[in-house]
Amino acid sequence: MVQKQIKGLDLDELTLLCKGNNFSAFRARQLYHWMYRHGVSDVKQMDNLPSDMSTCMSNQYQFKTLEIENIQHSTSEDTKKILFKTHDEKFIESVSMIDKNLHTVCISSQVGCNVDCKFCATGLMGFSRNLSCGEIIDQIIEIRGLREEPITNVVYMGMGEPFLNYNEVIKSAKILHDPHGMNLGRNRITISTSGILPKIKQYISEGQPYKLAISLNATTDETRTGIIPINKKWTIEMIMKELAKYPSDKKNRIMLEYVLLKGVNDTMQDAERLASYANTLRCKVNVIPFNDIGNEFSRPDEQTINRFIGVLHKNQRHYQTLVRWSKGVDIDAACGQLSTARHDAP
């Protein structure tokens, strides 16, 4: 019998599944707890299920979507990069970073990506397929099993453009946030987008409670279109206009991500323009000095980075400036470095 994938079903779907198999609806809540709160994928360990249900579940359904293929450990920080294999032999990567009390997990939402940001290793792979909600959740469950430190933050900043897999991404965030699921606070879940405008609109109009990050990366349309081609269709002005509608509060501010690229977007005029965009929102500006991926881009020198940040600090009124010196650079686990091109099945 071909087993169906069960991981990623929400409580309503599990309730239907239980009823369809002639089990009481309350069994769905038990399954949900086992799968997401406890991260159990072996039905035999779900010890409050009746034996006929256990047999039915293990015969008909698959509870695990990913296998760990490889783990790389950074030598300089407590960062691990995990390579997962999917049931159809695709490869994706996630990163687990521990820093003081924080354990942040960066997860993938697609196999590859077709947005084609010029500075990103994933973009160079091309696009293969969207990940299911179960595959997104399983990255976190598998990492939870690898580390003793509880996961405090999840960022959708790994491989793929989360808003091009909107439904599965939002469904997975809901299970992450649900107190009966993985019980992670809404401010501890960040979803990043390169600027897929219709989905930004949808996200804001639906009142999604998770943090929103925008990969801005340039302050003129000419430069941005050069490095993020979708900017031709959805310009900086269009994105900023939409972001102005975002209901920021003290705990939930938009994040403007800015990968600093030598000679591309690192002038003092860029810093001034970035500051004036940021001052129109209540937001955080996250400057990420570029991490080498062996392409035509490089990181500005330290003096330029410091001058750029100095201009941001000087102009700061409604935003906060953060600098992210990426973790896991030595294992290609830093921002924009994830790629499984060498592992993918032909």
Residues 192-211 that bind ligand SF4 (CB under 6 A): 194
Q: Rounded to the nearest whole angstrom, what is the least distance from the CB of residue 336 to ligand SF4 in the complex? A: 6
Q: Rounded to the nearest whole angstrom, what is the least distance from the CB of residue 232 to ligand SF4 in the complex? A: 14
The nearer residue to ligand SF4, 56 or 124, going by C-beta atoms, is 124
The nearer residue to ligand SF4, 78 or 344, going by C-beta atoms, is 344
- Residues 6 or more apart whose CB falls under 8 angstroms from that of 148 comprise none
Q: Which listed range, 4-12, 112-120, 281-289, 302-310, lies at the site for ligand SF4 (CB under 6 A)?
A: 112-120
Q: Rounded to the nearest whole angstrom, what is the least distance from the CB of residue 257 to ligand SF4 in the complex? A: 9
113 binds ligand SF4 (CB under 6 A): yes
Q: Which residues are known to be catalytic?
A: 93, 335
**Residue 267 in 3-state DSSP?**
coil
Q: Rounded to the nearest whole angstrom, what is the least distance from the CB of residue 105 to ligand SF4 in the complex? A: 16
Instruction: From 244, 253, 345, 329, select the one nearest 291 (Cα to Cα).
Output: 329
Residues 317-336 that bind ligand SF4 (CB under 6 A): 336
> What is the distance between the alpha carbons of residues 342 and 304, in angstroms, rounded to a whole number?
34
φ/ψ (deg, to 5) at 112: 80, -165
> What is the distance between the alpha carbons of residues 33 and 103, in angstroms, rounded to a whole number?
22
Number of residues engaging ligand SF4 in binding (CB under 6 A): 13
The nearer residue to ligand SF4, 117 or 154, going by C-beta atoms, is 117
The nearer residue to ligand SF4, 34 or 156, going by C-beta atoms, is 156
SS (H, E, C) 23-75: CCCHHHHHHHHHHHHCCCCCHHHCCCCCHHHHHHHHHHEECCCEEEEEEEECC
Q: Rounded to the nearest whole angstrom, what is the least distance from the CB of residue 289 to ligand SF4 in the complex? A: 16
Instruction: Pick from 120, 140, 218, 305 the residue near ligand SF4 by CB under 6 A.
Output: 120
> What is the distance between the alpha carbons of residues 105 and 4, in angstroms, rounded to a whole number?
27
Q: Which listed range, 15-23, 66-74, 109-117, 307-315, lies at the site for ligand SF4 (CB under 6 A)?
A: 109-117
Is residue 292 within 8 Å of 298, Cβ to Cβ?
yes
H helix count then E strand count, the chain:
11, 14
Instruction: From 118, 141, 104, select the one nearest 8 (Cα to Cα).
Output: 141
Residues 144-173 that bind ligand SF4 (CB under 6 A): 159-161
Instruction: Pick from 122, 265, 337, 340 the residue near ligand SF4 by CB under 6 A.
Output: 122
Q: Which listed range, 118-126, 132-140, 206-214, 268-276, lies at the site for ligand SF4 (CB under 6 A)?
A: 118-126
> What is the distance between the alpha carbons of residues 330 and 328, in angstroms, rounded to a whole number?
5
Instruction: Pick from 36, 41, 82, 123 the residue near ligand SF4 by CB under 6 A.
Output: 123
* DSSP string of 81-118, one letter each residue: EEEEEETTS-EEEEEEEEETTEEEEE--SEEE-SS--T
The nearer residue to ligand SF4, 41 or 86, going by C-beta atoms, is 86
The nearer residue to ligand SF4, 106 or 170, going by C-beta atoms, is 106
Angle at 39 between CA 38 and CA 40, to 5 degrees: 95
The nearer residue to ligand SF4, 144 or 224, going by C-beta atoms, is 224
Q: Tell me the per-residue interface mask from 2 to 41 with ligand SF4, x by CB under 6 A, - otherwise.
A: ----------------------------------------
Write the burial class of residue 136 (CB in 10 Å: 0-12 exposed, 13-18 middle, 19+ buried): buried
Q: Token digits for 339? A: 């790629």
| Residues in touch with ligand SF4 (CB under 6 A) | 113, 115-117, 120, 122-123, 159-161, 194, 215, 336
